[in-house]
């Protein structure tokens, strides 16, 4: 391994539950070997601040700057602990790919905001940082999301039509087949509504294994209402979304509108789980009906109830990315190591077929150590 081949990927996703870090070696090709990884929980106060910054509030500029610094410190802590565990020195690493925390996403208005402090991260680690991955695609009139289809193509391509499904806070799918090339888009909520509801009703931050949902029954009528009342679901790709749309207000407003017909708390959880599976299945059936296999990654891949719902609704074999050698919770962090590698090598990862941009683009901006 050489300094030219080692990259780190850092990811804190829509669920805001923690930071994942991966150390990868790209010596052989653009298919990396994982040399180390670590996950750190998001401090409660920082998580609450990020969630608050998803909505308009007082003194946003200062609060966002301080939150970015706090995230960079957490990123640095994860990076240095992982390197020490792997026996690798910072000087041996070419660059860190750091996504930051998305708090606003409105590409139709020409912007997307990821809170981060890459210069501080470079200072704390002594490693160059590549960040700001979305804005170049948005400048080219793209969605700026999803970012990972080019990476999915690099490591998960197969001779048969295959989809790669990431179940973070938001669900996004990459469609891989030789005839139509690389396509990808967000399908709607994955864990974001599930986590909001279970936390409000039980105090738990997530529904482990879908156990709480399993004590209820999903309501076909409520599911139909949730899908039919949201025009975003009917939009054709390219499209992307986030907490700007799918949030507590979205959920409670629809439950109130559904009125006396609403089910019990566990039934609502089961219905939200079914909503994720249903919108994913509808998206894949509509855009890639010949898909033979769906590779699932992200925290939602650990939800056994959600995985059962997906298998029952998808006309394809469903299995976790760990079956292909990439742990489900490390795929996104590994993607940002790959995106850093792609930036350094001038490889265009911003794809018009995915984001709707007017041209292919090299993504990211580099902050030297």
With a pLDDT cut of 70, the percent of the chain lying above it is 98
Shared domain check, 18 and 96: yes
Q: What is the pLDDT at residue 17?
A: 86
User: Does residue 1 lie in a domain region?
Assistant: no
> For the residues 9-28, what does the mean pLDDT come to?
91
User: Does residue 191 lie in a domain region?
Assistant: yes
CATH number at residue 290: 3.30.420.40
Shared domain check, 242 and 100: no
**Structure tokens belonging to residue 41:** 């929980």
User: Does residue 125 lie in a domain region?
Assistant: yes
Q: What is the pLDDT at residue 30?
A: 58
pLDDT single digits (tens) 161-219: 999 999 999 999 999 987 878 999 999 999 999 999 999 999 999 999 999 999 999 99
* 327, 195 Cβ separation under 8 angstroms: no
Shared domain check, 180 and 133: no
pLDDT single digits (tens) 308-340: 999 999 989 999 999 999 999 999 999 999 999
Q: What is the pLDDT at residue 28?
A: 76
* 191, 169 Cβ separation under 8 angstroms: yes
Q: What is the pLDDT at residue 262?
A: 62
Beta-ladder partners of 320? 296
Instruction: Indicate whether 260 pLDDT > 70.
Output: no
* 39, 19 Cβ separation under 8 angstroms: yes
Q: Whole-angstrom Cα distance, residue 57 to residue 257? A: 27
User: Does residue 52 lie in a domain region?
Assistant: yes
Shared domain check, 340 and 317: no
* 58, 69 Cβ separation under 8 angstroms: no
Query: How would residue 4 be classed by pLDDT, with cut points 50, 70 and 90?
Result: confident
Instruction: Indicate whether 92 pLDDT > 90.
Output: yes
Q: Domain count of the chain?
A: 2
Shared domain check, 342 and 232: no
With a pLDDT cut of 90, the percent of the chain lying above it is 92
Averaged confidence pLDDT in the chain: 95
User: What's the domain range around 17?
Assistant: 6-144+331-367
User: Does residue 339 lie in a domain region?
Assistant: yes
Measure the CA dihedral 291/297/301/307, to 10°. Answer: 0
User: Does residue 129 lie in a domain region?
Assistant: yes
Shared domain check, 36 and 23: yes
> For the residues 243-272, what does the mean pLDDT come to?
91
Measure the CA dihedral 342/343/347/348, to 10°. Answer: 110
Q: What is the pLDDT at residue 179?
A: 80
Nearest to 340 by CA among 137, 94, 125, 28: 94
Q: What is the pLDDT at residue 75?
A: 98
Q: What is the pLDDT at residue 1?
A: 53
Q: What is the pLDDT at residue 261?
A: 62
Shared domain check, 100 and 13: yes
Shared domain check, 339 and 216: no
Instruction: Indicate whether 357 pLDDT > 60.
Output: yes
* 306, 276 Cβ separation under 8 angstroms: yes
Instruction: Indicate whether 2 pLDDT > 90.
Output: no
> For the residues 1-22, what does the mean pLDDT come to?
86
In the block, tokens 């080692």 appear at 6
pLDDT single digits (tens) 30-89: 579 999 999 999 999 999 999 999 999 999 999 999 999 999 999 999 999 999 999 999
pLDDT single digits (tens) 98-115: 999 999 999 999 999 999
Instruction: Indicate whether 280 pLDDT > 60.
Output: yes
Q: Specify the pairing of strand 293-297 against strand 181-189.
A: unpaired
Query: How would residue 263 be classed by pLDDT, with cut points 50, 70 and 90?
Result: confident
Measure the CA dihedral 245/206/312/280, to 10°. Answer: 20
User: Does residue 124 lie in a domain region?
Assistant: yes
Shared domain check, 110 and 236: no
Shared domain check, 77 and 192: no
Alpha helix ranges (H) inside the chain: 44-52, 60-86, 118-125, 135-139, 149-156, 192-202, 220-228, 248-258, 265-287, 304-313, 331-344, 352-355
User: Does residue 284 lie in a domain region?
Assistant: yes
Report the predicted TM-score, pTM, of the whole model to 2 decimal places. Answer: 0.93
Burial class from Cβ neighbours inside 10 Å (0-12, 13-18, 19+) for residue 255 reads middle
**Which comes out higher in pLDDT, residue 261 or 326?**
326
SS3 204: coil
In the block, tokens 């660059």 appear at 95
Shared domain check, 253 and 199: yes
**Structure tokens belonging to residue 362:** 């090299």
**Structure tokens belonging to residue 296:** 């699932």
> For the residues 350-356, what does the mean pLDDT come to?
95
Shared domain check, 308 and 164: yes
**Which comes out higher in pLDDT, residue 194 or 1?**
194
φ, ψ (nearest 5 deg) of residue 202: -125, -15
């Amino acid at each position: 391994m050489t300094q030219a081949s080692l990259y780190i990927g850092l990811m804190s996703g829509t669920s805001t539950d923690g930071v994942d870090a991966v150390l990868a070696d790209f010596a052989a090709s653009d298919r990396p070997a994982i040399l180390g990884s670590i996950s750190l929980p998001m401090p409660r106060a920082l998580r609450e601040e990020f969630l608050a910054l998803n909505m308009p509030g007082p003194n946003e500029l200062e609060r966002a700057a301080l939150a970015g610094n706090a995230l960079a410190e957490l990123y640095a802590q994860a990076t240095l602990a992982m390197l020490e565990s792997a026996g690798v020195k910072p000087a041996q690493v070419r660059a860190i790919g750091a996504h930051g925390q998305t708090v606003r996403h409105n590409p139709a208005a020409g912007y997307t905001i990821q809170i981060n402090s890459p210069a501080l991260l470079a200072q704390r680690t002594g490693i160059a940082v590549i960040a700001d991955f979305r804005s170049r695609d948005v400048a080219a009139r793209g969605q700026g999301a999803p970012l990972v289809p080019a990476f999915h193509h690099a490591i998960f391509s197969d001779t048969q039509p295959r989809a790669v499904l990431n179940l973070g806070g938001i669900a996004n799918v990459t469609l891989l087949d030789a005839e139509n090339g690389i396509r990808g888009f967000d399908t709607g909520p994955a864990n974001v509504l599930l986590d909001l509801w279970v936390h409000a009703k039980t105090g738990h931050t997530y529904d482990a294994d879908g156990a709480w949902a399993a004590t209820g029954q999903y309501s076909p009528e409520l599911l139909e209402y949730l899908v039919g009342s949201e025009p975003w679901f009917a939009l054709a790709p390219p499209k992307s979304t986030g907490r700007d749309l799918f949030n507590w207000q979205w959920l409670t407003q629809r439950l109130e509108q559904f009125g006396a017909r609403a089910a019990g708390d566990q039934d609502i959880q089961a219905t939200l789980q079914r909503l994720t599976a249903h919108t994913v299945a509808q998206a894949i059936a509509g855009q890639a009906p010949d898909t033979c296999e769906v590779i699932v990654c992200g925290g939602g891949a650990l939800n056994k109830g959600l995985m059962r719902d997906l298998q029952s609704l998808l006309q394809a074999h469903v299995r976790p990315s760990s079956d292909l050698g990439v742990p489900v919770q490390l795929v996104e962090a590994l993607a940002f190591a790959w995106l850093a590698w792609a930036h350094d090598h001038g490889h265009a990862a911003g794809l018009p077929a995915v984001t709707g941009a007017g041209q292919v683009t090299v993504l990211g901006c580099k902050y030297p150590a």
